[in-house]
Chain A
């Protein structure tokens, strides 16, 4: 290991995750007890704290993993890596500090004060320079995951900037355009981190299987181009019901969903073709990747359905959208990143490759709790959709009160999810701390 800084990024990522699930659980309690912590920690603070922590987990986990994998090569600049880490650590502290003080004048998902986007973008630039400088000499022979990482970084810089176009008066003055561009940028921002995370999944599968051809197959590159199309055009389903010109609403809702089939297919091929001895090596990483595989299939059905405008008409603006986003961020992104992190600690110390009984139980708890969590969100969404489209003047609070049992189910399954995530994250966090100390 040339530098411990990739591990520092991962530790920061795991810390964000552990904090984020607590914020999420407390926020869900406010659905049941609206007055709970209302003055000390109101929902308007909890939600940005939860969302920012969740996004930070995915972004920092992906950055740390990619830096670790680059670190195995002749790395361009450890100094840039250290600067990147220090910058993000200080930005993260400022961000949480500003949230606690209530200084949030950004927008949904990026609620921090817009000034903080400058160090965030600068960090992405440093990351990009390090990646391209490290890998540039071999560009003609890049496996697909290098392309995915490079593309993810470039588009992340653009779409994070685009998400702040509202600071330009020309955009802000035109309300409909402002909203459409905002939600377009969020779709593409998510597509950019998916590029990083899916690239990591292909890297981990390639290395565990010991088959370098996997990252160079036609299917893998087809998937890359499909993902790229999705990143650029697959945001349309966010904005079906904004009063934009019809052509904008026609754009690319089918492509946004087709990439899942290919990723599932790649993972399926990998599992079928994995030599038996490898099941003992990196067993936890493999189990977690299989979990991601399951959630890809589970989300595929929902994703395909809500991308049909006639169905989206009823699901838009309801918890069904949240069920989809939770299914993907927790079920897919989180399990792929956990798999990558377990693979990393297993690479650094072979005794960490085995799976303990607690970890096996934790994966089962994770899947069970997430199924109940997603189903309760779907139930809440159906009830809300019925209220929006077919209610006879009943009030919003009457509809919310009628959801009481569903919200209890949501909170209980959220608690189960929190426990499973802690049982999976804390052992690997401890191992990472031990590796750093030695």
Chain B
């Protein structure tokens, strides 16, 4: 049941470009500092919804990637690599919300999360 695709809502299929972005994400160990859905390292911010954040978005991401600010390594991503990473972050953004601030904490201790398409 855990391996069945029906167990997951919504089902976001990564495009070939997003897969390239995911490869870059892994090869450069972005997870060492950043989180997705709160999972990852804590030296940088969570990037689950950075794509749709009104104060951030694709242009901000593109500028930030090669900035080398603070402890972020000085990368030298090409334009196509930057586009691929942004495409990956866009797909993540479409899959859901984190932090899920519209969650409902129930008296039983359970948390009812809000899904992206609700």
Residues of A within 8 A of B (CB): 30-31, 34-35, 38-39, 42-45, 47-48, 104-108, 111, 171-177, 179-181, 183-184, 238, 240-249, 308-313, 316-319, 322, 380, 384, 388-389, 396-397
B61 within 8 Å of A by Cβ? no
Closest chain-A Cβ to B46's Cβ sits at a distance in Å of 6
CB pair B111–A240 under 8 Å, yes or no, is: yes
Q: What residues of chain A lie closer than 8 Å to B23, measured between beta carbons?
A: 105
CB pair A396–B44 under 8 Å, yes or no, is: yes
The interface residues of chain B, by DSSP majority, are classed as: loop
Q: What residues of chain B lie closer than 8 Å to A47, measured between beta carbons?
A: 29, 32-33, 41
CB pair A173–B95 under 8 Å, yes or no, is: no
CB pair A244–B9 under 8 Å, yes or no, is: yes
Given contacts A104-B29, A384-B42, whether A43 and B71 have CB atoms under 8 Å apart is yes
The interface residues of chain A, by DSSP majority, are classed as: helix
B100's partner among A106, A241, A245 (CB-CB below 8 A) is A241
B2's partner among A45, A181, A318 (CB-CB below 8 A) is A181
Q: A247-B7, A389-B101 are in contact. List 14 more A-B contacts (CB 8 A).
A: A42-B71, A43-B41, A107-B26, A171-B3, A174-B11, A174-B13, A176-B95, A179-B39, A243-B115, A246-B112, A309-B111, A317-B35, A384-B42, A397-B70
Q: What residues of chain A lie closer than 8 Å to B109, measured between beta carbons?
A: 308-311
A176's partner among B9, B30, B111 (CB-CB below 8 A) is B9
Query: Which residues 73-118 in B have Cβ within 8 Å of A in the complex?
Result: 73-74, 91-92, 95-101, 103, 105-106, 109-113, 115-116
Closest chain-B Cβ to A99's Cβ sits at a distance in Å of 10
User: A247 CA to B1 CA in the complex, in Å?
Assistant: 11
CB pair A318–B42 under 8 Å, yes or no, is: yes
- The winner among B29, B43, B110 for most chain A CB atoms within 10 A is B29
A310's partner among B3, B28, B100, B105 (CB-CB below 8 A) is B105
CB pair A396–B115 under 8 Å, yes or no, is: no
Given contacts A30-B71, A43-B33, whether A177 and B40 have CB atoms under 8 Å apart is no
B43's partner among A30, A105, A243, A308 (CB-CB below 8 A) is A30
CB pair B14–A175 under 8 Å, yes or no, is: yes
User: A43 CA to B30 CA in the complex, in Å?
Assistant: 10
Q: What residues of chain B lie closer than 8 Å to A243, measured between beta carbons?
A: 8-10, 95-97, 113, 115-116
